[in-house]
Structures are given as C-alpha cells and as structure tokens.
Amino acid sequence: MFRAALLPLLLLTFPLFAAERRVTSSEKFTSAAAEVKPGDTIVWAAGRYENVAMRLRGAGTEAAPITVRAETTGSVVFTGASQLEVRGAWTVIEGLTFEQTTLDPILLKDAQHCRVTACTMRACAAEGVRLHYLRIGGSKSAENRVDHCTFEDKRTDGVMLIVDGDEGVLSTGTRIDHNLFRGIAKTVRNGMEAIRVGDSGFQRQEARTVVEENRFEACRGDAEVVSNKSTGNSYRGNVFIGCDGGAIVLRHGDRCVVEGNRIDGEARPKSGGIRIHGSGHVVRGNVLERTGAYAIALPAGNSVLRETGHAPVRDAVIEGNQIANPAGPVFVLGEPHDSRKLQDTAPTGVVFRKNTVEGLGSHERVTDYLKTEGGVRWE
C-alpha cells in the first residue's frame, strides 16, 4: 500500500522522459529550444561558435529545471554577434564562455528563478555601442541568481552586470554571489561599473538584491565599482583589490546594508571605500585598508532633490568598521559632489559607533565640509 501511494508522488516530482539534446549550430539550438520541456538539457558540444543567436522561452520547474550547458565548463566559446536571451522560469545556464562578442552576451528578460552559473564573459565590445555583459531586465524578472561566473577585460561603455527593469518595474530578489569581476579600464566619463542595481528611476523600489562573496580586482572604469540605485539591498562579504572609485556606493535608494566587506585600495589615489547617499543605511563590520580618496564618505545632499540628484544622508548607522593605513582621508562628511547641483544639506541623524582607525599617519581622521556636529554622533 505504501509503495502504491508513493508512486504517483514520485511521478509528479520527477519528469519521466527528460531529454538531453546535443547541439552544434544555431539552427540545432533553435530546434532544440522549440521542443524543450521541464527537466530537459541542451548541451553545446565543445568548440568555438561565431554569430550564434540563442533565444530560449521555456518554463521548467523547481524540481525539473531546463538546462543549457557546455559539454564541459569553458569548452564552448561564443564570439562575434552571439547572444543568449532567456525568458521564462527555472532555467539554468551553465559553463558557457562569451569572448569578444559584439552584443550583450546574456540577457535574462521576464525571467523567474533562473540561474547563470560558471559562465565567463570576456573582452566583449562594440564600437560606439553601450554593451552590458549580463543584464537582468523585463518587468517580471524575480528571484534569479548569478554565481561562480567570471566577468573580465571591459574596455568600452557599459556595465558588467546590471539588475534592471522595464515599464517602471524593477527586477527583484536577485542573488549575485561568488563571482569574479576583473579588469575594467576607464574609457568613458561615466557608466562602467562592475555591478549596478537599479537606476535613478527605480531608486524607491525594493529590489531585495543580495551581492555577496564576490571578488573585484582592478575595476577602474567608474567612480563607483558597485553602484546601488534602489532600495532594500544587501552587500556583504565581498573583496575589492586595487580598484578605483568607491568600492560600494549607495548612490540612490534607502535602507541598504553594507556588511563584512574587505576593501584594499592598494594606496591608489582614486581608490575609495564606501560612499553613502539616502536614508536608513547600515554600514558595519567592514575592513578598509589603504584607501586613497576616502574610507567612508557621507557627502552633502540636495535640499531641492531631483531624480538624478544626491539625496541627503539621514539616519545612518556606521559601526564596527576597521580602517587600516589609510592613504588619504578617512571619514569625509558633507562634501559637495558638484556645487552646481546645490548640494547644501549636511548628513543628519548619523551614528558612528565603535569604528577603529590604525596607521593614520598624517591623514585627517574626519574631514567635515559642512560642520555636521549637530547631525552626527560619535560613540
């Protein structure tokens, strides 16, 4: 009786006829993608492929996701005008490499519970065109994950990994973990972050994105390595080595947590630590070494705020951070980013608690531009 009752449950949980389809061309991929069902796997045979357009619109399940993978991780390389666009749910993209492509390599659009893992995006560029290595967009994207991927050698306009949206709705619940971001060279004035979560138009929306346990090396393309432009996100356990610009910048949005990160600026003059705008943020337990521009900065805000302006810092908690051997200012308060934008409002309701500074040398511990004594409490 027990076995008879259990059998229908097993049949519902596991697909009976999961298929593995081996593909070696764009045409074969298109054919396989048209027939794919929950539990099926599309396997790219090892090799280099040029100008491959891949469109996958399928719906797997939690127990039986659809998988697109390389024969072995790193053995499949796409070049030229190659791109993979995924729509739908419960799809896993694994082990693919995109090298010197002229289109955004991977796009998740209106995707839910999809995962991109162990993929590499390297030296992708298009002359005069903004190109993102991986974009999560659409108005319905939620609960996606990007992990154990490598993003490297970016030398043209665009972001390595961007959490975006459409029709006024931002992607939510994204997890970005255990990835390597390496080698961004500044070639335009603005817009070459390693990661950007949202934009100014989405700043009040709850993204609930988690960025954790990633490594950033020599990311020097923008004033912000990781740029937060939405609300309710967490940045924890990441490592930054030899980057220029603020390692983690809460540029827009409120109520974010920056915790347990390690930032080593290698005494580069433009290397920064953590910069904050907005309300209700918590910055705690971070280790910042040899930062050149600042360790922790709370700039002045706009009293008359525009969508692309700088929100005043309010009700922030800065606690338990360790700062060692700074190569420049440590705590920078109330600095106007651009006087033409009327940044005239000092931080208020801010608590600095149990932070330590070692190896200060001749550098100032606190640089206070707007005299914030009434709005900042030191404990």
Q: Is the pLDDT of residue 14 over 60?
A: no
Residue 269 has pLDDT above 80, yes or no: yes
Stretch 249-272: mean pLDDT: 98
The arithmetic mean of pLDDT across residues 270-290, rounded, is: 98
What pLDDT sits at residue 341?
63
How does residue 7 score in pLDDT terms, banded at 50, 70 and 90?
Answer: very low
Any domain includes 129 = yes
Going by C-beta distance under 8 Å and a sequence separation of 6 or more, which residues neighbour residue 8?
A: none
Looking at the predicted structure, is the pLDDT value of residue 181 above 60? Answer: yes
Sorting pLDDT into bands at 50, 70 and 90, what band is 153?
very high
CA dihedral 185, 186, 187, 192 (to 10 degrees): 100
pLDDT in tens, 196-251: 999 999 999 999 999 999 999 999 999 999 999 999 999 999 999 999 999 999 99
Q: What average pLDDT does this structure show over 77-91? A: 98
* Cα–Cα–Cα angle for 195, 321, 202, rounded to 5 degrees: 30
Predicted confidence band of residue 159 (pLDDT cuts 50, 70, 90): very high
Per the domain annotation, does 137 fall within a domain? yes
Residue 115, domain member (yes or no): no
Q: What confidence tens digit (pLDDT) does each residue in 295-332 have?
A: 999 999 998 888 989 999 999 999 999 999 999 999 99
8 pLDDT higher than 80 = no
pLDDT for residue 116 is more than 80: yes
Residue type, 328: G
**Range in 67-71, 186-190, 249-253, 324-328 the model is least confident about:** 186-190
**pLDDT per residue as tens digits for the range 20-53:** 999 999 999 999 999 999 999 999 999 999 999 9
Judge whether residue 15 has pLDDT over 60.
no
For the chain, counts of helices (H) and of strands (E): 2, 42
Whether residue 242 is contained in a domain is answered as: yes
Q: Work out the pLDDT band at 339, boundaries 50, 70, 90.
A: low
What is the span of the domain harbouring residue 151? 125-378
The reply to whether 104 falls in a domain is no
**Looking at the domain assignment, is residue 32 inside a domain?**
no
- Residue 61 domain-assigned (yes or no): no
Our CA angle for 104, 36, 136, nearest 5°, is 30
What distances in angstroms separate CA 57 from CA 34, 37, 49, 89, 353, one per listed residue?
8, 10, 21, 9, 50
The CATH number of whichever domain residue 335 belongs to comes to 2.160.20.10
Q: Cβ-count burial of 151 within 10 angstroms (0-12 exposed, 13-18 middle, 19+ buried)? A: buried
Tell which residue, 80, 220, 74, 79, has the closest CA to residue 148: 74
Measured CA to CA, the distance from residue 91 to residue 93 in angstroms comes to 7
Q: For residues 358 and 324, what is the distance between their CA atoms, to the nearest angstrom?
A: 5
CA pair distance 173, 16, nearest whole angstrom: 31
Q: Please tell me what DSSP assigns to residue 142.
A: B
Looking at the structure of the chain, the number of domains it has is 1
Long-range Cβ contacts of 234-238 (<8 Å, 24+ apart): 234/209, 234/210, 234/259, 235/211, 235/259, 235/261, 236/210, 236/211, 236/212, 236/260, 236/261, 237/212, 237/213, 237/261, 238/211, 238/212, 238/213, 238/214, 238/262
Neighbours of 168 (CB within 10 A): 9
* 13 inside domain: no
**CA-CA distance, 195 to 232, in Å (whole number)?**
16
Rounded average pLDDT over 101-125:
98
**pLDDT recorded at residue 6:** 45
Task: Output the pLDDT for position 211.
Answer: 98
pTM of the full structure: 0.94
The pLDDT assigned to 11 comes to 44
Q: Convert the pLDDT of each residue in 215-225 to its tens digit.
A: 999 999 999 99
pLDDT digits (tens, 9 = 90+) for 342-377: 888 999 999 999 999 999 988 889 999 988 888 999
Pairwise CA distance, residues 56 & 34, whole Å: 8
Beta pairing class for 175-177 and 210-212: parallel
pLDDT the model gives residue 340: 67
Residue 354: is it exposed, middle or buried by C-beta count within 10 angstroms (0-12/13-18/19+)? exposed
